[in-house]
Amino acid sequence: MCGIVGYTGVQSAAPILLDGLKKLEYRGYDSAGVAVMDQNVIAVHKVRGRIAALCEKIQDGAAVPGFTGIGHTRWATHGAPTEENAHPHLSNDGRFAVVHNGIIENYLPLREELIREGYHFQSETDTEVIVHLMERYYKGNVRQALIKTANRLQGSYALGVICSEEPGRIYAVREASPLILGMGVEENFFASDVTALVNRSRNVIYLEDGEFAELSKESIRIFDCTGRQIDKKATRILWDVQAAEKGGYEHFMLKEIMEQPGAVKATLAPRLKNGGVEFEELAGLVPQLASLRKIVITACGSAYYAGCAGRYALERLCGIPVEVELASELRYSDPLIDEHTLLILISQSGETADTIAALRECKAKGAKTLAVVNVVGSSVATLADYTVYTWAGPEIAVATTKGYTTQVAVLYLLALFFARCLNRAGDGWERMIEAVQSLPRRIQQAIDMNASIPALAKKYHKNPDIFFIGRNTDYAVALEGALKMKEISYLHAEAYAAGELKHGTIALIEEHQPVIALCCNPAIMEKTLSNVVEVKSRGAEVLALTYRDNQKILSVADDLLFIPRVDPLFSAAVEILPLQLLAYYVAKENGCDIDKPKNLAKSVTVE
């Protein structure tokens, strides 16, 4: 949730730190700050509120001399969002400044211990114990003090540290929170994610848990918790600067909606080879597939809904029972999971705390773990036995779109891949491969077929409640469509299995109540049609999502959204497009902060 940046080099540090923090704004935050070292003095500047206020306070960095510094955006977890609780935190002797992303779970006993020893605390945060431990353990060697400090900490932390005794050096530590190093010419960086670095360095190093880094303008040295130096290879970031900018669209979200044909193609194409599906990264898993008794998919939010959509293909093609569980539930349910279980974890950020915890819990029970992740080197990717990346590129908007559709696309590929490995491919193999291969084109068609959505948004944007209904895959997509509407337009939206309405919810259908009916599965069309008639007869206004030649639905619906015909087993990544666009334009009508909705963060790294 928080974001950290660090710089050391030959340029003035403060403007570079501010620029990096701006690139991290999308993560959600409530305060910000920088600490810059000039000669042997550390100056700390922080604000409650937006980075713009910090820029104003320090004149975009011009008022803060020094070539070495650290910065932070805070999303409050321990202690209210105040200037005192903002990072960086300074030690009592003024020697150390620290920024932190994560949660120190044992901070209370540490705080009490430090207070007993005479250390004074300026904030309510868990983080502040770190800077006082650094002061306590410092005997002239920052690296040793850092290792001793880290050994006292329990929980998750990506740390940035500077010491006034070591001008020109910055230190970084990673434990269960992302931390990336950027390599420059006569300058080096660290940040919580690539987006803060990409316009200054394309050569990055992903720190892993338990690793420490010491950066000067000439060098980056990485060592483990014993102080032994280790070599790490650099990764070249191929994302263009534009890829992390808006590319001409008004919002990142609209840009990322429009990127989906390309993102899904980038995710599918390298794996669709020689008329089949190939996953080199799963070679070690293939021999174990025959011993599987069930597949459990676990995730949070939209990633969970992607699992709900992909489970139909996995179950149907592989002939293995598939359960889809919320990670926040799974982690505390003592699940019946063992070595005959394949746990598929879905996460765009790869840093969602509940998903990471569910991974650890199920891995300890013997499950084979397969991560479907978008962020290279993220915690879920690092901890899982196997990782399949969704090559969606950076997703900046808090509300996921291409993250969701590329996750669904990977689940389709896995279904086909496992089916072939298990010799269950059966009839229609070529047709299914073609259906998946054509998804990027179908997604583009679903965008092009719905020019009426801005006008529909004007009609529906004032309704306080909207229902989404569907059956089977349509229901799974309705869940995601409702979440998109809720999280960016702030309208209350609820998704219901269409067959469930008569068991209570239909009591809520009033005159003019908008109901979005997903009608994209011919096999159950009659059933869904009867549900549409049910709500119509009670006064609802029905906005139906279906294909152009579905005369039956066209004759009863009040408004229409269209998709091209797609095999329902593989249609979720197409059906969601009109619903993403509808949510976007309704939110626009409501004047909402579409890319950074209130109360939300891009990555929920605490439980």
Residue 156 β-bridge partners: 103
Determine if 193 is a binding residue for ligand AGP (CB under 6 A).
no
Distance separating alpha carbons of residues 467 and 474, to the nearest angstrom: 13
Please tell me whether residue 240 adopts helix, strand or coil conformation. coil
CA separation for the pair 436, 131 (Å, rounded): 52
Q: Which is nearer to ligand AGP, 91 or 328 (CB)?
A: 328
Q: Which two tokens stand for residue 283?
A: 């070679």
* Interaction of residue 58 with ligand AGP, rule CB under 6 A: no
Is 260 a binding residue for ligand AGP by CB under 6 A? The answer is no
Residue 125 found at the interface with ligand AGP (CB under 6 A): no
What is the 8-class DSSP label of residue 10? S
Choose between 395 and 541: whose C-beta lies nearer to ligand AGP: 395
Spatial distance between the Cα atoms of 397 and 595, rounded to a whole number of angstroms: 5
Which residue among 2, 318, 362, 520 is the active-site one?
2
- Tokens of residue 201, six digits: 């360095």
CA distances from 352 to 3, 388, 393 (A): 14, 17, 18
- By rule CB under 6 A, what string of x and - marks binding of each residue 483-522 to ligand AGP? ----x-----------------------------------
Q: With binding defined as CB under 6 A, does residue 68 bind ligand AGP?
A: no
Q: Give me the least distance between CB of 407 and ligand AGP, in Å please.
A: 8
**605 sits near ligand AGP (criterion: CB under 6 A):** no
Among 90, 285, 399, 497, binds ligand AGP (CB under 6 A): 399
Whose Cβ is closer to ligand AGP: residue 521's or residue 603's? 603
342 lies in the binding site for ligand AGP (CB under 6 A):
no
Strand ranges (DSSP E) for 233-293?
A: 235-236, 272-273, 276-277
Residue 604 Cβ, how far from ligand AGP at the closest point, in Å? 5
Cβ 306 to ligand AGP shortest distance, Å: 8
- Tokens standing for 247? 């590319």
- Side-chain half-sphere of 310: how many Cα atoms within 13 Å? 31
Active site residue 2: yes
In terms of CB distance, is 209 or 558 closer to ligand AGP? Answer: 209
Instruction: Give the nearest distance from C-beta 480 to ligand AGP in angstroms.
Output: 8
Applying CB under 6 A, the span of 241-249, 396-404, 493-501, 507-515 interacting with ligand AGP comes to 396-404
d(CA 116, CA 106): 16
Of 159-167, 335-343, 347-355, 563-571: span binding ligand AGP (CB under 6 A):
347-355
Residues shown for the chain: 607
Under a CB-based contact definition with an 8 Å cutoff, are residues 491 and 587 in contact?
no
CB 303 within 8 A of CB 403: yes
> The tokens of 210 are what?
């338990």
| Choice from 68, 400, 473, 571 touching ligand AGP (CB under 6 A) | 400
Q: Which long-range contacts (CB under 8 A, 24 or more apart) does 116-122 make?
A: 119/92, 120/92, 122/84, 122/89, 122/90
Active site residue 318: no
Q: Is 99 in the site for ligand AGP (CB under 6 A)?
A: no
3 state SS of 477: helix
Q: How many CA atoms lie within 13 A of 1 on its CB side?
A: 19
State the nearest-atom distance from the C-beta of 2 to ligand AGP, in Å. 15
Residue nearest to ligand AGP (CB): 301
Task: Rank residues 567 and 607 by Cβ distance to ligand AGP and give the closer one.
Answer: 607
CB 301 → ligand AGP: shortest distance, Å? 2
Please tell me which residue in 22, 368, 402, 602 is annotated as part of the active site: 602
- Among positions 263-322, residues that touch ligand AGP (CB under 6 A) are 300-303
Of residues 348 through 377, those in contact with ligand AGP by CB under 6 A are 348-349, 352, 355
The DSSP string of 36-69 is EEETTEEEEEEEES-HHHHHHHTGGGTT---SEE
The three-state secondary structure class of 74 is strand
Report the distance separating Cα 387 and Cα 75, nearest Å. 29
Does 91 engage in binding with ligand AGP (CB under 6 A)? Answer: no
* Sites for ligand AGP among residues 413-452 (CB under 6 A): none
Task: List beta partners, residue 44.
Answer: 35
Establish if 528 lies at the interface with ligand AGP (CB under 6 A).
no
- Residue 411 near ligand AGP by CB under 6 A: no
Could you give the residue numbers annotated as active site? 2, 602
Footprint of ligand AGP on this chain (CB under 6 A)? Answer: 300-303, 347-349, 352, 355, 398-400, 487, 603-604
